[in-house]
Structure 1
Amino acid sequence: MGEGGVTCVKYIMFFCNLLFALTGLLMLTIGAIVQINYIHYSNLIGDTIWTAPIVLIIVGIVVFIIGFLGCCGACKENSCMILTFAFLIIVIFLAEIGIAIAGYIKHDELRGILENQFNYTLVHYNERKDYQDTWKVAQSELSCCGINGPNDWENIYPRRNELPASCCTMINLEKSTVCDIEHAHKEGCLNKLWILLDSKTVALGAAVLAIVLIQLLTLFYAFCLFRSFRRRYETV
């Protein structure tokens, strides 16, 4: 490859590395947004699923650092740095495949995990203030009541016709001062939260797929640039 070809590949490589670094920032941002917006549901989601945004943040930081390393290698025409960069991309790519497989498995188990967490937090509702706060937020934000419906509260509240205030809205209550089954939301929170998380999972999967495609493109140009640098130095 001639001097002009090497220069062209170098600039393409730099651009791909810049995109690669930006994918790291994107992953970090997505993880942070999920962490911030859904942290109040953590008791209902469970630790095995809740680690996903944390892992996304960590991987995003690592990807950004590797992308920066690739940009430096392209600018300085350092073949050793480019090779190291390519190796790190492969490691990240394999790690992402592992995370994707684990995520797919957990996605199939998502509803069961949610159901177990819902049942556990409801049984221990009166024992922990954080469980009470979680249920209050979930029922208010999702406009739902109980796990599958208002009847789930009958063993928690001593009065049969009294429910948590978060099961009702001011419009539903009308002139009543007590939230009861008549004025409560009829749909349970389990199904609503599962639909919400399932929709976010699909969007997240599409974003990760786009990121992986950019990483593969960057890896291709990294090897092209490495070979170009090696050939140049061999002919000198």
Structure 2
Amino acid sequence: MAQACLRCLKLVMCAANFLCFVCGISVLGLGIYLSVNFKMAALTPSMADFSVAHVLMITGIVITCVSFLGFLGALKENRCLLLTFFLMLFLLMLAELTAACLLLTHEISDLKKDLQEGMKKAQQQPKNATLTDWDLIQSTLHCCGVVNASDWGQNVPDSCCDGPCIKVNPNYYQQGCLHVLKGFFEDNFLYIGIAIIVFCIIEVLGMCFAMTLFCHISRTGLGYKL
């Protein structure tokens, strides 16, 4: 009975990590596509090296590496890979909790200042840039500028237009992106918290499964030994 349960646990770990591996490859591919085909600029100077494309690529690489270790470690009953998988999941969970705490403690005034500095840098980008993070945010969230369209001065991007962008009396979005982002986090605060908790639970389960297989292999003398 115990052997059957462990075999089932091994198959579950292999299947779950294979699905995560496929998702990681997809996210990585999307990040590479955006990086190659679009000129991306970060919203804030504090995240100058982390545009949407860069974040997607880093996320895809992390998911792919961690899931590959879990899949191969469970499939081959490799103690070294299982232990590495356990440690990487633990570090990933700590990073997620740290990021969540920083997000919750980040002052709105600091965010406004960061967005304003990021907008100044975006205005210095070449005019032939087909897409920036600002264009993506403004067209997706239906907002314009930090406070309103006047933040862009005389060079308001087309992504601020509510519908077709005309030169005479253009119909810009009335709300600034700071207000929309603040409202988004306030309205979805509960869901964001639940999502973080769910991810942490999944990671804890993955660590428990990995350690269970690791201990079983240690007791039986199977698999690769450290």
Name the TM-score, length of structure 2 as normaliser: 0.65
The CA distance in 2 between the partners of 1:88 and 1:190, in whole Å, is: 46
Q: Which amino acid aligns with 2:69?
A: V
**Are 1:188 and 2:188 an aligned pair?**
no
SS of 1:210's equivalent? helix
Matches within 5 A, 1:80-91: 85-91=78-84
| 2:25 and 2:64 in contact (8 A); partners too | yes
Q: Hey, what does 2:201 align to over in structure 1?
A: 209
Structure 1 unaligned runs (5+)?
1-7, 71-84, 231-236
Matches within 5 A, 1:156-167: 157=154, 163-167=156-160
The CA distance in 2 between the partners of 1:54 and 1:200, in whole Å, is: 23
Q: Hey, what does 1:64 align to over in structure 2?
A: 71
Among candidates 94, 102, 105, match of residue 101 of structure 1: 94
Q: Hey, what does 1:142 align to over in structure 2?
A: 141
Q: Hey, what does 1:77 align to over in structure 2?
A: none
1:78-112 deviation digits (Å, cap 9, x = unpaired)? xxxxxxx2443233212221222122222333457
| 1:21 and 1:64 in contact (8 A); partners too | yes
Give the structure with the larger helix fraction.
Answer: 1
The CA distance in 1 between the partners of 2:89 and 2:131, in whole Å, is: 36
The CA distance in 1 between the partners of 2:19 and 2:86, in whole Å, is: 16
The CA distance in 1 between the partners of 2:6 and 2:220, in whole Å, is: 12
| 1:115 and 1:190 in contact (8 A); partners too | no
Matches within 5 A, 1:215-226: 215-224=207-216, 226=218
- The alpha carbon displacement at 1:147 in A equals 2.4
1:8-48 deviation digits (Å, cap 9, x = unpaired)? 33332222112112232343344445553895777237346
| 1:145 and 1:188 in contact (8 A); partners too | yes
- The alpha carbon displacement at 1:141 in A equals 1.4
**Are 1:12 and 2:5 an aligned pair?**
yes
Which stretch of structure 1 is more off in the superposition, 122-131 or 60-69?
122-131
SS of 1:62's equivalent? helix
Moved over 6 A (4+): none
Gap change, CA 1:191 and 1:57, over 3 Å in 2: farther
Identity fraction in percent: 17
Q: Hey, what does 1:82 align to over in structure 2?
A: none
Q: Which amino acid aligns with 2:211?
A: L
Q: Which amino acid aligns with 1:126?
A: Q
| RMSD, aligned α-carbons | 4.0
1:157-207 deviation digits (Å, cap 9, x = unpaired)? 26xxxx322112128x7x984436xx4231315753973997568536523
SS of 2:211's equivalent? helix
Q: Hey, what does 1:118 align to over in structure 2?
A: 115
Pairs aligned (count): 199
SS of 1:209's equivalent? helix
| 1:145 and 1:167 in contact (8 A); partners too | yes
Structure 2 unaligned runs (5+)?
none
1:139-161 deviation digits (Å, cap 9, x = unpaired)? 1112111124333223xx26xxx
Gap change, CA 1:165 and 1:13, over 3 Å in 2: same
- The alpha carbon displacement at 1:123 in A equals 0.9
The CA distance in 1 between the partners of 2:114 and 2:72, in whole Å, is: 37
Name the TM-score, length of structure 1 as normaliser: 0.62
- The alpha carbon displacement at 1:213 in A equals 0.9
Q: Which amino acid aligns with 2:123?
A: N
| 2:74 and 2:213 in contact (8 A); partners too | no
Which stretch of structure 1 is more off in the superposition, 120-129 or 13-22?
120-129
Greater Cα radius of gyration, structure 1 or 2? 1
